[in-house]
Amino acid sequence: MVPVRRVKQPSLSQLRAFAAVAEHLHFRDAAASIGMSQPALSGAVSALEEALGVQLLERTTRRVLLSPAGERLAARTGAVLDAVGELMEEAEAAQAPFTGVLRLGVIPTVAPYLLPTVLRLVHTRYPELDLQVHEEQTSSLLEGLAAGRLDLLLLAVPLGVPGVVELPLFDEDFVLVAPEAHPLAGRDDIPREALRGLRLLLLDEGHCLRDQALDICREAGREDGAEVTTTAAGLSTLVQLVAGGLGVTLLSRTAVTVETARNTALSTGSFTAPAPTRRIALAMRAGAARHSEFEELAGALREELAALPVRVLGADS
């Protein structure tokens, strides 16, 4: 059996020493160019030759020449050192906050109403950040966060998911959206109990807003088995069904202006205090490498969101 020769791995200092000698073909000049003593430089090149098992230089009393192997490996050595330099530059750039790619997941009942604020903030305050937005339902977003496909989520909480840290942003009220001629249309004193007997229209299963609406109805005393005859895949369709007289629905306050402005046959009503609410937050993996960056982003978002019809929360809420 032929013994296998174990090749020693060359060090970066050895490669730098050889690259300097290959460039200057003079030990003193090469040593000065990289800030190394001449004996240390000579020793580093000799150690590299031993590690590689080839003679790289032909040494004479007057000059230094590259051997045939040295000529071949000099170019490779330069490429390796260039690659290491690029690696260090990339690592340094990665340390800079709000640079590189940020993959943000957003639920459909938040995206159309908050993304304009998020995008404006990123454009003006973090221009070096490459924000990539993914609109998905909550379960898919959480799977993407756990798998590393997504970095940060914008969604309704609480989630109650181990390993996920929530950064609360704001609370917002729900309002009742009804046809203009409905008895509750335009009222600002609707009791929650009124939900017991209403024909309620909801989003399809899988949307967290559907679950929140059902929770509100249960709190109001509506039976779990109360019939929901019509559902929709998105809020725009849902409010048009309301405008058509098929029933009423619940909308978050941030969605009202966008979704009801298209149809004058719609009217909104407010609930008596305490109104049903939902909480919106950013969510990240526990121990995320960019946790400080995400916390700063949450703080900046709270400032921007103060202009919306919401109750902005503190970082400790």
pLDDT digits over 197-219, tens only? Answer: 788 888 887 677 777 777 777 77
pLDDT, tens only, 252-289: 999 988 888 878 888 888 999 888 889 999 999 998 88
What does the alpha-carbon distance between residue 137 and residue 42 come to, in Å, rounded to a whole number?
A: 63
Residues 255 and 306 in one domain: no
What's the token pair of residue 248?
């009423």
Same domain, yes or no, for 178 and 133? no
* Range(s) of the domain holding residue 57: 12-95
Confidence category of residue 230, pLDDT binned at 50, 70, 90: low
Nearest-angstrom CA–CA distance, 296 and 317 = 15
Among 62, 95, 128, residue at a domain's last position: 95
Same domain, 180 and 162: no
Q: pTM for this one? A: 0.72
Please tell me the total count of domains within the chain. 3
Across residues 148-175, what is the average pLDDT? 93
- Residue 61: band (very low, low, confident or very high) from pLDDT cuts 50, 70, 90: low
SS3 of 196, please? helix
The verdict on residue 116 lying in a domain is: yes
Say how far apart CA 163 and CA 153 lie, in whole Å: 13
What percent of the chain is modeled with pLDDT above 90?
A: 43
CATH (domain of 114): 3.40.190.10
Judge whether 264 lies within some domain. yes
pLDDT tens readout for residues 91-144: 766 667 788 889 999 999 899 999 999 999 999 999 989 999 999 999 999 999
Does 87 reside within a domain?
yes
Same domain, 299 and 160: yes
Residue 187 and residue 59 share a domain: no
* Encoded tokens for 295: 């916390």
Report d(CA 109, CA 207) in Å as an integer.
8
What is the average pLDDT score of the chain?
A: 87
How much is the pLDDT for 207? 75
Inside any domain, residue 4:
no
